[in-house]
Amino acid sequence: MAEPSLRERALRYLARRDHSRAELARKLAPHGSPEEIDRLLDRMSELALQSDARYAEAWVRSHAARFGRDRLRGELARRGVERELIESTLDAQDMDTEIGRARALWQARFHGEPPADAREWARQARFLQTRGFAADLIRKLLKDAPDESA
């Protein structure tokens, strides 16, 4: 059985899910020269088979409920998406709901229990920080945590 061509490999990857250009190039690297891969990826971009913008939008849409803006930015950068495209994608996303997303994660994880002491506050803040939420947002959320006993 003949080995699949570079184009066939790229189409198989893209049939499964969108990939950033950098991800696709990395996956195709063992199967072709850098020049061949660049030509193929240029052609796939021209035909709208591969789009970093589409990839970034889909990735943010699928991960925004679990992560904050900082984590989304870092993950997209790690996947090879250009900084300008990341920023425009994040700006297009309704990030006004970031505190709402952080509150939903916090309530799911900590059952809406405000921190009882400094140690618990630090634990809850670390959880939100690892999810990519900004420090000022975390302070506001943990300070404004609804007090159920009142």
**For range 84-90, the mean pLDDT:** 93
**For range 93-98, the mean pLDDT:** 70
The domain that holds 31 is classified in CATH as 1.10.10.10
Question: What total of structural domains would you count in the chain?
Answer: 3
The CA-atom distances, in angstroms, between 6 and each of 9, 10, 19, 25, 128 are 5, 6, 15, 11, 42
**For range 76-98, the mean pLDDT:** 87
Residues whose CB is less than 8 angstroms from the CB of residue 33 and which lie 6 or more positions away in sequence, other chains included: none
| pLDDT reported for residue 148 | 44
Same domain, 36 and 60: no
Same domain, 83 and 118: no
Report whether 81 contacts 52 (CB < 8 A).
yes
Q: How far apart are CA 126 and CA 133, in angstroms?
A: 10
**For range 77-97, the mean pLDDT:** 87
Is residue 148 domain-resident? no
E strand or H helix at 123 = helix 118-130
Which of the two residues, 86 and 98, has the higher pLDDT score? 86
The domain that holds 106 is classified in CATH as 1.10.10
Least confident of 47-51, 71-75, 91-95, 116-120: 91-95
143: three-class secondary structure by DSSP = helix
- pLDDT above 90: residue 92: no
DSSP classification of residue 5: P
Report whether 41 contacts 50 (CB < 8 A).
yes
Query: In the Cβ-directed half-sphere of 137, how many Cα atoms lie within 13 Å?
Result: 21
Range of the domain at 67: 52-93
Model confidence at 147, pLDDT cuts 50, 70, 90, reads very low
0.85 exceeded by the pTM?
no
Is residue 131 domain-resident? yes
Is residue 65 domain-resident? yes
Residues whose CB is less than 8 angstroms from the CB of residue 13 and which lie 6 or more positions away in sequence, other chains included: 19, 24, 27, 28
